[in-house]
Amino acid sequence: MGRTIAGDSRKNRELELARLAARKRRKIRKAITTSIITVVGIALALWIIISIVSLIQNNEEADLANETLVPTVDIIDENSGNNISIRVKEFVAKIERDFSDLDLSVDKVILPLQKAREVDVYLIDRNEYFKMSLDRGSATQAEDADRMMRYLDENSVKASYVDLRIEGKAYYK
């Protein structure tokens, strides 16, 4: 036949090695493809989850922004106009909410004569009142008032009012 045993096994061996190399390349390609698909799937799932969470948060923020706050305490306008703006009413409602978070109750609010951005807040069971500014946040002023009340009580100081209009400073008289 003209064939030798060594030549035949050598050809078979080369074919077998080529098949093994091709199988190894297919396994590597399959592993890489599977890894890429897995990573893309995870990234897509994370993107969808983050989008849903941010959509929910945006809807909640929009609901809070659309919520109109209405004060429940008396607002006394000393300018005798009794034309109280929506901004003032919302500020008073926020102050009420912020003080109630601190377990304090607002008795009444006075808009002083000739003072455009000042609000005087009277609390139940307190002798002093608090001068607040419409330009500062209601929550920070409520916290400042709470700190001042604790300071006045600890030092047994009887004040007639506490001025909280300037950020970082409080003045009592």
Residue spans of the domains in the chain: they are 1-67, 74-172
Confidence at residue 58, expressed as pLDDT on a 0 to 100 scale: 85
Pick the CATH number of 74-172 from 3.40.50.620, 1.10.472.50, 3.40.50.11690, 3.40.225.10: 3.40.50.11690
Tell me, what's the pLDDT at 75?
87
To 5 degrees, how large is the angle CA 131–CA 91–CA 147?
Answer: 45
Distance (Å) of CA 35 to CA 26, 27, 38: 14, 12, 5
DSSP letters, 132-164, are EETTS-HHHHHHHHHHHHHHHHHTT---SEEE-
What's residue 79's pLDDT?
Answer: 82
Query: pLDDT by residue for the chain (173 residues), tens digit each?
Result: 555 555 567 778 888 889 999 999 999 999 999 999 999 999 999 999 999 999 888 888 776 666 667 888 988 888 877 788 888 899 999 999 999 999 999 999 999 988 888 999 999 999 999 999 999 999 999 999 999 999 999 999 999 999 998 888 888 98
Q: What is the pLDDT of residue 68?
A: 67
Rounded distance, CA 94 to CA 57, Å?
A: 21
Query: Model-level pTM?
Result: 0.62
Please give the pLDDT value at position 92. 92
